[in-house]
Amino acid sequence: HLAESVNPLISGYMRTSLKTLRGHLSYIENSFIYSYNNGRIEGINNKIKVLNRVAYGYRNFMNYKKRILIHFKLKPVESNLRQLHLEAA
């Protein structure tokens, strides 16, 4: 059990590991209780980083942004001014 005192014969590495586990115990328990995680966001960030390495030669940011939107099959967000202009017409 993590709350018990540590045997003095345990190595320093194991002491450090136990200290880390104790510090993060509430978060570890929450991971078993709740089904939420950030895996999807981490995957998206990783894909964007790969695109960044592959797309080193893009001339401007808008081309890079369009490539990301195409990759994830997303629609670009229209600015508020353009939406207001379309609604007024």
Q: Is residue 53 a contact partner of residue 77, using CB atoms and an 8 Å limit?
A: no
Instruction: Compute the distance between CA of residue 42 and CA of residue 44 in angstroms, rounded to an integer.
Output: 5
User: What per-residue confidence (pLDDT) applies to 76?
Assistant: 67
Those residues with Cβ within 8 angstroms of residue 2's Cβ, 6 or more apart along the chain or in another chain: 18, 21, 22, 25
Instruction: Compute the distance between CA of residue 32 and CA of residue 86 in angstroms, rounded to an integer.
Output: 48
**What integer is the mean pLDDT of 26-34?**
90
Q: Is residue 12 a contact partner of residue 20, using CB atoms and an 8 Å limit?
A: no
Q: Which amino acid is at 42?
A: E
**What integer is the mean pLDDT of 65-84?**
71
Six token digits for residue 17: 């590991």
pLDDT category at 49 given cuts 50, 70, 90 is confident
